[in-house]
Structure 1
């Protein structure tokens, strides 16, 4: 797949759907068995984001070197489109809780934490203070991605296009060294997991995959069985040998490598049965709204529905198992409405045809 190929990569939306389902299960079932499954979901999100963002920036850098756009214009367009994708829902949620907090207290949504969330620094706040932020904890992954964009985009656009691979390798190595150093120093798994440099390494690994999609790989490596095996490893391992989240953290680089391999396999062979499954309507559509699902899911709880019903005099008894499916349906419904009436119109505006910038030397 050539770098200048901007066609939609089949299977990626389905893979996002699976990543979200992993995270949802880990957050909604608190017995401890499924905690590491959420980590695998995050690694899939990082691999996908790293691949797509790196390819976008690499194409922009090629355009800069061809004199089609200036560096600053390319950087501005990248940030505009990224902001249009990630800011609206995120800040809409924070704005809602800022208003609601005037009358209701929300655990973890206090002065310092609020500022950190507004600045996309939730991960830094948590590992520097040692305090999780209640139902806002999942914002740490969004913070790491935003921090990565701020550092990574200028590096790729203001250096030669041939340096992109070296920059990705440098981030991967630095991430591994950071994790090894922190483990040697005996710091907590929380600090290791929330440290920006370790996250940057995982994202850059996806970037390396994106830069090498046009390279030939053995047919067996991207076959249907190989894709299925990689997916099964990501499903089974966190439920068995790595179900302890602290142990999982030690092997997180290997999990990240497996997620990156699966992304490479899917992009490298679009005609397999596994990709066909990922392209089925339920997975493809869930993947398309997965960002909204990720943002919303920790704020939607069945006990809130029960409390609201009681205010209208409705009391019902429901088995414990039914809460998670109902929360999933409500999450998907809210994310669907958000995508259709809020997110997609803003993205369409940000991606509207723009006047080509004056040619400039790279």
Structure 2
């Protein structure tokens, strides 16, 4: 294994661990244990920011480059291969959960269609309600936002040259800011769509993408001083968020992207010191790798425990206590582990049969980031 491949593997593993930490914040929030000091929404923003970073790194590695006015050779085949690989990573467990719940009579066909077509977030905004389907599936909205981005961004990445691509990403950031301002001034900031509509996540996805592009092109490293200031800023943002109001609702979602971006780049470059050693801890890396399953399963598992679990466990989970969080998280991690080894990982092997149209110059450097 080459030195570049080993470095890429290490980078991927620390980012896997960070993804797990982001999702953990959401689990705490759904268990009713989130605090004003560090709300679960920060975990969601981090998850989307990291998604933008990783998907754009993958696009840069797998899609042929396009210069101004010159179409990329082999772009269609590379794009289709990319979409197929993304589908193999996200769709199997996602659709398995929907299918099991549908066949088991837990959800109706209408509910399955909403989730299956990746429009959960849109329906939540239209109905102004988190639970447009069953109470244990509202978290699918983040997967829908992610999939909507994955549907459009790779195509635009292939069709646009570097300048137009970057302008588009900056425009997305502007749209997100204007969206939050407009919703606040219209008195709609308490609406569910304030969080679930794609516009609300444009800045996180765009900043993540710009980080990937800028880092690959410029090769900059995050200095220790920047890490210290990022930590100070994160503490200040956490304190400011405790007071709510305009600052917390409109300003902080964008500002949080600054320290979170520093964290991602520091981990990617292996510059986190003792924190990096913690992120390299093998159990953390493993559960980070299967964090998609943990995220998708945690509320369905809570439903299963409440409706079919041992009578002694039901009150702990139903009333959202620390003990209930521990029980539900343990059961979720166990089921996600089984899903990974028995279902998801075997399907991942199908990716080797898909054509690999990535440029030779970056194949090794970006190995494992897909």
TM-score, normalization by structure 1: 0.82
Name 1:220's counterpart in structure 2. Answer: 224
For 1:175 and 1:212, the matched residues in 2 are separated by 21
Which residues of 2 match residues 99-114 of structure 1 at below 5 A?
99-101=103-105, 104=106, 109=107, 112-114=110-112
For 2:347 and 2:301, the matched residues in 1 are separated by 24
8 Å CA contact retained: 1:227, 1:266: no
Name 2:141's counterpart in structure 1. Answer: 140
8 Å CA contact retained: 1:292, 1:335: yes
Distance 1:305 1:129, change over 3 A: closer
Distance 1:146 1:5, change over 3 A: farther
Name 1:360's counterpart in structure 2. Answer: none
The 10-residue stretch of structure 1 (122-131 or 340-349) with the greater mean CA deviation from structure 2 = 340-349
Name 1:79's counterpart in structure 2. Answer: 83
For 2:104 and 2:243, the matched residues in 1 are separated by 36
The 10-residue stretch of structure 1 (252-261 or 291-300) with the greater mean CA deviation from structure 2 = 252-261
Q: Deviations over 1:160-182 (max 9, x none)?
A: 24543222222212222222222
199, 204, 207: which one pairs with 1:205? Answer: 207
The 10-residue stretch of structure 1 (249-258 or 134-143) with the greater mean CA deviation from structure 2 = 249-258
Secondary structure in 1 aligned to 2:39? helix
For 1:303 and 1:52, the matched residues in 2 are separated by 33
Secondary structure in 2 aligned to 1:188? coil
8 Å CA contact retained: 1:51, 1:206: yes
8 Å CA contact retained: 1:171, 1:204: yes
73, 92, 101: which one pairs with 1:97? Answer: 101
Count of residue pairs the alignment pairs up: 340
For 2:109 and 2:307, the matched residues in 1 are separated by 30
8 Å CA contact retained: 2:17, 2:288: yes
14, 37, 40: which one pairs with 1:11? Answer: 14
For 2:156 and 2:71, the matched residues in 1 are separated by 18
8 Å CA contact retained: 1:222, 1:268: no
| CA-CA distance at 1:228 after TM superposition | 5.4
| CA-CA distance at 1:194 after TM superposition | 1.3
Name 1:260's counterpart in structure 2. Answer: 261
| CA-CA distance at 1:124 after TM superposition | 0.4
Name 2:115's counterpart in structure 1. Answer: 117
52, 55, 59: which one pairs with 2:54? Answer: 52
For 1:129 and 1:226, the matched residues in 2 are separated by 41
| CA-CA distance at 1:293 after TM superposition | 0.3
Distance 1:175 1:5, change over 3 A: farther
Secondary structure in 2 aligned to 1:212? helix
Which residues of 2 match residues 236-275 of structure 1 at below 5 A?
237-238=237-238, 240-243=239-242, 248-250=248-250, 251-270=252-271, 272-275=273-276
8 Å CA contact retained: 1:122, 1:139: yes
| CA-CA distance at 1:306 after TM superposition | 8.3
| CA-CA distance at 1:328 after TM superposition | 0.8
Distance 1:316 1:25, change over 3 A: closer
For 1:181 and 1:344, the matched residues in 2 are separated by 44
Secondary structure in 1 aligned to 2:297? helix
| CA-CA distance at 1:330 after TM superposition | 0.6
Name 2:347's counterpart in structure 1. Answer: 346
Distance 1:6 1:348, change over 3 A: farther
Distance 1:152 1:67, change over 3 A: closer
TM-score, normalization by structure 2: 0.80
| CA-CA distance at 1:272 after TM superposition | 2.0
8 Å CA contact retained: 2:19, 2:291: yes
Cα RMSD (Å) of the superposition?
Answer: 3.3
8 Å CA contact retained: 1:61, 1:160: no
8 Å CA contact retained: 2:173, 2:202: yes
Name 1:128's counterpart in structure 2. Answer: 126
| CA-CA distance at 1:72 after TM superposition | 1.2
| CA-CA distance at 1:67 after TM superposition | 9.1
For 1:170 and 1:318, the matched residues in 2 are separated by 46
For 1:24 and 1:272, the matched residues in 2 are separated by 27
The 10-residue stretch of structure 1 (186-195 or 138-147) with the greater mean CA deviation from structure 2 = 186-195
